[in-house]
Amino acid sequence: MNSSIIQRRPRGVALLTAASLVALMSVAGFASPAQAHDAPVSTVPETGVTLSELPEEFSVTMSEPIVVTPGTESNFGMRITDAAGLYYGNGCVTFLDATMSTVAELGEPGTYSVVWQLVSSDGHPTSNADSNPVSFEWAPAEGAAMSVGSPTPPVCGESTETPEPSMTATATTPEQDADEDAGSQSPGDTTEASDATPALWIGGTLLVILLGVGAALLISQRSKSRS
């Protein structure tokens, strides 16, 4: 009886060990996909290529469909820059299944890079900014249309037009101010000044005449008294 018990114990331990291994494998199997980030499958353009004409769009295609949930829009984007650090495009992105894309615009010939950022299917943001930016050469054909870069990243829906210059005040010298004050006199002020001058002349003339008449009368009276 004791020998049968001894023979059964190894079988029970083996069954328990096998069941534990199956459970661990099952847990590991379910956990791995949930913890893995989506990986980029392809990009347009590809790293290291030389473009002679613009593609329809710049894009990145992921290993899983891209889902944009409300409140996470700021975590999605693509930025195109040249070697001088100027930005190109309009800052807008579109989505189609597992692909995120933006308008294709470039400036002068040279080296360019594309950096993308999005939210993986596990809910975590992922980007190629630090790991593997897409770098390529732009060698457009003669006569190809080229865009003007911006020193600041474009924001979707916002214009990048240069604002009109504002009006600035011009400094004036004291002599210019005096001339402007003299020229700004009203017609009434000019008339009063011109009317005052003839009045003074007329008053002076009348005084001279009265003095002359008075002197003549005085002389006439003295002549009569002597006679």
Q: Is residue 147 part of a domain?
A: no
Structure tokens at 76: 């999605």
Which residues span the domain enclosing 79? 40-138
Tokens 């004409």 identify what position? 53
Can you tell me the distance from the alpha carbon of 62 to that of 99, in angstroms, rounded to the nearest whole number? 6
Mean predicted lDDT score pLDDT of the chain: 74
Q: Is residue 93 part of a domain?
A: yes
Q: Is residue 45 part of a domain?
A: yes
Residue 183: predicted pLDDT: 53
Q: Is residue 85 part of a domain?
A: yes
Q: Is residue 126 part of a domain?
A: yes
Listed ranges 10-19, 55-64, 169-178; the one with the highest mean pLDDT: 55-64
CA 47 to each of CA 37, 44, 124, 132, 134: distance values in angstroms, whole numbers, following the listed order: 21, 9, 25, 9, 5
Taking residues 168-190, report their average pLDDT: 48
Write down the pTM of the prediction: 0.57
Task: Give the type of residue at 165.
Answer: P
Containing 129, the helix (H) or strand (E) segment is none
**Picking from 36-50, 69-83, 197-211, which range would have the lowest pLDDT averaged per residue?**
197-211
Q: What is the tens place of the pLDDT at every residue in 143-162?
A: 888 999 999 999 999 865 54
pLDDT tier for residue 71 given thresholds of 50, 70 and 90: confident
Residue 50: predicted pLDDT: 98
For residue 188, pLDDT over 50 is answered with no
The CATH number that applies at residue 66 is: 2.60.40.1220
Report the number of distinct structural domains present in the chain. Answer: 1
HEC string of 32-55 equals HHHHCCCCEEEEECCCCCEECCCC
Q: Is residue 90 part of a domain?
A: yes
Q: Is residue 156 part of a domain?
A: no
pLDDT tier for residue 37 given thresholds of 50, 70 and 90: confident
Task: Give the type of residue at 42.
Answer: S
Identify the residue with better confidence: 69 or 225.
69
Taking residues 7-12, report their average pLDDT: 51
For residue 182, pLDDT over 60 is answered with no
pLDDT tier for residue 94 given thresholds of 50, 70 and 90: very high
Q: Is residue 222 part of a domain?
A: no
pLDDT tier for residue 180 given thresholds of 50, 70 and 90: low
pLDDT tier for residue 193 given thresholds of 50, 70 and 90: very low
